[in-house]
Structure 1
Amino acid sequence: MICVIAGVILLGTLTGCARSGGSVQDEYPKLPSTTELPGTSTPAKLPPPLTPTIAPTLEEPIPPPSYDSSKALGAYVIPLTIQHISDTEADLYFMLELPAEGALFYLRYGSPSDQAQWITFNAATDTHLIKVSNLEPGALYEAWVGVSDDEEVHHPPSFAEGIWEPITIRMPQENDWPIRIGVIGDSGFGEEVTYQLAEELASHHPEWVIHTGDLVYNVYEDSSPPQAFIRKFYQPLADLLHAAPIYPVFGNHEGYEDAYWRAQPFYYAAFPPLENSYGGDDFSGVSGQREWYAFTHGNYQFIFLNSQQFYSLELREEQNAWLQEKLRESTSTTNIVVFHIPPFTSGYHPDDGIPIRQAWVPLFEKANVALVLSGHDHNYERLELNGVTYIVSGGGSYKLYGKQDTREESEFFTAKSHFVILEIFPDRIGMTAYGLGGEVLDSYTLPLPSSD
């Protein structure tokens, strides 16, 4: 079987890869070994990734590698996940317990299994960020990882005493409305209700999912940050992670000292900086960390901010300048902004958002920001103020907060476990909050101003 590879590989501090049939690239440095926790919650600054390199073009076709799923080889620290999907590309990411050689396989649904394509990776690092390109818009693919044994037979890495099944990559299609987006937040306790919410959210087949922060709580309950993320993030949200990218924001619990690993919050290991493939993408991060980022889809710009940086003078100013630039230079008709601490809430933390209210809300009102999504308060609330809709969605668990003092901007409030489905159209945004069992808690349509 002749295998033609359509991948562009990111090489640098995060990955050491080659196209199938090409020679393995030069060795690249492994991420630093685990260090003691720092005395403060200030993230350590890591060097930025190297410039991406395109692997060599094949001159001679070679047969595909052998793959045997009957036994595992090696283990995941971070299972294979989709970090970002653009028009014809997908950024896939995983971390192994130990460096190893292997391959990422991918196959379009409905194709014979012997037509699987693959991209090899080397043992220079345990962490691999692989860009698969030339994918067909509107098509479905599945992808999986194989670690090579001494006989060059590939096996799946183990995950939590089992196997992480192949993931599904659903490529977007131009003008295919609505764009369906899931929203969930404050889910990080590892509770059974979070598994149920994720399963029910996945049944709506979202193109992607937004997480409003606090992915994992109480990391000290587990043996390490990776184990805490496995038990409280990757396992409960597996139904979503197997079918769509999750775009998160940094919550206050992500910065706790017990959440540090390899001299930085584990969050930054789970969500690395990415190459910017399209003009509207900005995933490059700050000093090697994806502190804040943005991407566009159609006439929408999605902006993800780190509200914890209000406690860091240097990065606060840098993020504020970046946000102003994004809002000022945006060619998108509509902006949707996501961050953890809500500027307005009738819930348990009414004053936590005051700095945000003072610094960011005036920017939102001057720019074309239609919707702001936050978490932090463990409830659902919809508020309206000066043409901007604010959604608080922090009900991804059973640990819920009741109403304190009702804000005059509040249109709806409930303290129930939930997720939100957004349906994005060119002229409107539909929003539905679902409780367990499909109960509709709130439904609202936000009309958008005409772009004419």
Structure 2
Amino acid sequence: MKLNFFSCLFVFCLFAGCAVFAQDKSPVIAFTSDTQEPMWIEELLLKSNQNQKATAMIFKDVLATHPAALFILGDVVSMGYKNKKWTKIDAYIKQLTQKHISVYATLGNHELMFNAAKGEQNFQTRFPMHNHAGYLETVDSVAVVLLNSNFSKMSDSIIVKQDKWYLATINKLNHDPAIKFIIVGCHHSPFTNSSIVSPNLTVRQKFVPAFISSKKCVLFLSGHSHNFEQFNIQGKSFLVIGGGGGLHQPLYATEVSHDIAAKYKPMFHYLQVQRDHDSLNVTSRELAKDFSGFKNGLSFKVAIN
């Protein structure tokens, strides 16, 4: 069948319109934390539940949904100094990067366990862009500031260096018209109701004030607590997203901090964030209890106040 001039014009406009629509759509940014396989000593206290399978399924779903980047907020592996503990994660990262999905991470306590120098060396090999005194990555107009919260493993000079860098970076981003939103991430949670790990007061003292005072800072992400928790502190959103595969941790029956997602408690999950003009769409991707697959769970918007 031959197409006349007007038919060709219609087809061209249709495809051109689709291309413009695709270009206008903002890229998705994925976040996860605590993808480490359980240690035998942990299993003496906490119940396992196909944890390594859950981690594999998270990376598979990230690959299928194809975000622009994946950020891992620490405890990527159970013992960072052991090369064999990186084997599966190396394969997952390779699959993502081969599909042009950038992978970034920040240090957790498990990367530095038993042999901190060797653990950080193995970590740095996988994430060469990482800086143990904080670093910045930007996707679209969303700046992601990644911080090191392993203060007991940091020298005083590194802590001071990160403090100065963090404040200077937030100030610079506040005045950069190309940046619309700032997400701050570290491993240890400033707020959590976990009965296994405590809220990190140093994170609360060093990282939270600048985050709250900045208009562009809209989302503070952390792990360490193997749960999904959501807190609203002075009008700002704090999420704990430690559902990457580590052993699920019980929560205190009486809250330490008010969790506004008290009824949303998937065992395994990761986060998707996407800019929608003047707000960010935040969606928790949760793994079904029967491991049949992922679905969108809790979803909400954050915007500049």
**Residues 300 and 334 in structure 1, CA contact (< 8 A), matched pair in contact too:** yes
TM-score (norm 2): 0.76
Counterpart CA distance in 2 for 1:412 and 1:312 is 36
**Residues 430 and 445 in structure 1, CA contact (< 8 A), matched pair in contact too:** yes
Deviation of the 1:398 alpha carbon: 5.5
Aligned to 2:128: 272
Q: Is residue 364 of structure 1 aligned with residue 206 of structure 2?
A: no
Q: Select the structure that is richer in helix.
A: 2
Deviation of the 1:260 alpha carbon: 4.6
Q: Is residue 374 of structure 1 aligned with residue 217 of structure 2?
A: no
Aligned counterparts, 1:6-405, within 5 A: 176-189=24-37, 191-218=52-79, 225-231=82-88, 233-236=89-92, 238-243=94-99, 244-258=101-115, 260-261=117-118, 264-273=120-129, 285=131, 290-309=132-151, 311-330=154-173, 331=176, 332-349=179-196, 351-368=198-215, 369-397=217-245, 399-404=247-252, 405=254
The DSSP-based 3-state class of the residue aligned with 2:86 is helix
**Residues 225 and 260 in structure 1, CA contact (< 8 A), matched pair in contact too:** no
Deviation of the 1:185 alpha carbon: 1.0
Query: Structure 2: which amino acid aligns with 1:312?
Result: S
Q: Which has the higher contact order (CA 8 A, sep 6+)?
A: 2
**Residues 196 and 249 in structure 2, CA contact (< 8 A), matched pair in contact too:** no
> Residue 194 and residue 304 in structure 1: after superposition, are their counterparts in 2 closer, same or farther (change >3 A)?
same
Given the alignment, which residue of 251, 255, 261 partners 1:412?
A: 261
Counterpart CA distance in 1 for 2:199 and 2:256 is 14
> Cα deviations across residues 14-71 of structure 1 (Å, max 9, x unaligned)?
xxxxxxxxxxxxxxxxxxxxxxxxxxxxxxxxxxxxxxxxxxxxxxxxxxxxxxxxxx
> Residue 228 and residue 295 in structure 1: after superposition, are their counterparts in 2 closer, same or farther (change >3 A)?
same
Deviation of the 1:327 alpha carbon: 0.9
> Residue 201 and residue 259 in structure 1: after superposition, are their counterparts in 2 closer, same or farther (change >3 A)?
same
Aligned to 1:94: none
The DSSP-based 3-state class of the residue aligned with 1:397 is coil
The DSSP-based 3-state class of the residue aligned with 2:65 is coil
Query: Structure 2: which amino acid aligns with 1:412?
Result: A
**Residues 79 and 112 in structure 2, CA contact (< 8 A), matched pair in contact too:** no
**Residues 234 and 241 in structure 1, CA contact (< 8 A), matched pair in contact too:** no
TM-score (norm 1): 0.52
Query: Structure 2: which amino acid aligns with 1:257?
Result: F
The DSSP-based 3-state class of the residue aligned with 2:260 is strand
Deviation of the 1:203 alpha carbon: 1.8
The DSSP-based 3-state class of the residue aligned with 1:434 is strand
Query: Structure 2: which amino acid aligns with 1:370?
Result: V
Counterpart CA distance in 2 for 1:174 and 1:308 is 40
Which ranges of structure 1 fall in alignment gaps of 5 or more residues?
1-172, 274-282
> Residue 237 and residue 195 in structure 1: after superposition, are their counterparts in 2 closer, same or farther (change >3 A)?
farther
Deviation of the 1:416 alpha carbon: 0.8
**Residues 134 and 147 in structure 2, CA contact (< 8 A), matched pair in contact too:** yes
Deviation of the 1:247 alpha carbon: 1.1
Counterpart CA distance in 2 for 1:395 and 1:329 is 32
Counterpart CA distance in 1 for 2:139 and 2:297 is 28
**Residues 36 and 246 in structure 2, CA contact (< 8 A), matched pair in contact too:** no
> Cα deviations across residues 201-241 of structure 1 (Å, max 9, x unaligned)?
2221111111111011045xxxx73322113x123555434
**Residues 229 and 241 in structure 2, CA contact (< 8 A), matched pair in contact too:** yes
Counterpart CA distance in 2 for 1:429 and 1:402 is 30
Counterpart CA distance in 2 for 1:227 and 1:350 is 27
> Residue 398 and residue 354 in structure 1: after superposition, are their counterparts in 2 closer, same or farther (change >3 A)?
closer
CA-atom RMSD, angstroms?
A: 2.5
> Cα deviations across residues 116-168 of structure 1 (Å, max 9, x unaligned)?
xxxxxxxxxxxxxxxxxxxxxxxxxxxxxxxxxxxxxxxxxxxxxxxxxxxxx
Counterpart CA distance in 1 for 2:87 and 2:274 is 30
> Residue 376 and residue 342 in structure 1: after superposition, are their counterparts in 2 closer, same or farther (change >3 A)?
same
